[in-house]
């Protein structure tokens, strides 16, 4: 009887050892699975971060991001060799603001972006070509990438108007390259896109806002600056 008790104790001890080993193995497997999940999540997070950086790095690319800041040029990243045909821009109006307000130096951001319907908008770009740039004015699109694939021309549907920019350096070195206005009888106040093209291809866009007639009446330069910044 004593011998049988000893054998039973040995068997019980062995069973406990195997059970403990099994539990330990399951814990290790669970830990390994958790580690794998954490590693995979870290990789996914890293990829998301890189994708975010790529998007942020292309913040001036109209083909990457639909978010637009009024008064900022967004250059489209394409294989177009003439992408730098225009590097900076200044815009002025003929109804509101002092000469100082309307004679800022060309830039890539902080460009005047608020105008009134029926106000002439004048273009003063810094460009490597004296002609060949055409600006298409369209009601704002959420899908900015569509501007990359659009075929531009006189017969293109959906545009409001267009302006062919031309600079006669000899006759008027400081003169405007072109101008236009939006007829308040045909168009409503709101956001409009300027799409800059060269040889039929878009190379830059800029978001603007057109106010109703009278909304900017009697405003000082400081008030106009504030209004434009709050667009």
The angle subtended at Cα 164 by Cα 162 and Cα 168, nearest 5°, is 155
Which of 103, 108, 114 lies closest to 196, judged by CA? 108
In this structure, what DSSP letter does residue 189 have? Answer: S
- pTM value is 0.70
Low pLDDT (below 50) residues in the chain: 1-64, 81-82
pLDDT of residue 65: 59
CATH 1.10.10 fits 74-229, yes or no: no
Q: d(Cα 70, Cα 111) in Å, to the nearest integer?
A: 8
Q: For residue range 61-111, list pLDDT tens digits in order.
A: 444 456 789 999 999 875 554 457 999 999 999 999 999 999 999 999 999
């Amino acid at each position: 009887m004593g011998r049988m008790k000893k054998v039973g104790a040995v068997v019980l001890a062995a069973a406990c050892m195997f059970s403990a080993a099994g539990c330990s193995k399951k814990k290790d497997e669970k830990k390994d699975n958790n580690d794998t999940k954490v590693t995979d999540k870290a990789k996914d997070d890293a990829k998301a971060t890189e994708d975010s950086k790529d998007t942020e790095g292309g913040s001036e690319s109209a083909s990457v991001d639909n978010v637009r800041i009024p008064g900022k040029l967004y250059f489209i990243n394409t294989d177009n060799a003439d992408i730098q045909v225009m590097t900076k821009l200044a815009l002025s109006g003929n109804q509101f603001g002092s000469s100082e307000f309307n004679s800022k130096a060309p830039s890539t951001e902080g460009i005047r972006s608020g105008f009134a319907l029926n106000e002439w908008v004048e273009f003063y770009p810094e460009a490597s070509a004296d002609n060949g740039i055409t600006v298409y004015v369209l009601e704002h699109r959420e899908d900015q990438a569509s501007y990359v694939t659009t075929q531009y021309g006189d017969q293109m549907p959906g545009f409001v108007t267009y302006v062919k920019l031309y600079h006669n350096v000899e006759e008027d070195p400081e003169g405007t390259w072109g101008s236009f206005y939006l007829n308040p009888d045909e168009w409503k106040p709101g956001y409009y896109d300027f799409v800059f093209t060269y040889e039929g291809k878009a190379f830059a866009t800029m978001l603007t806002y057109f106010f109703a007639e009278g909304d900017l009446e009697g405003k000082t330069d400081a008030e106009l600056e504030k209004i434009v910044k709050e667009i």
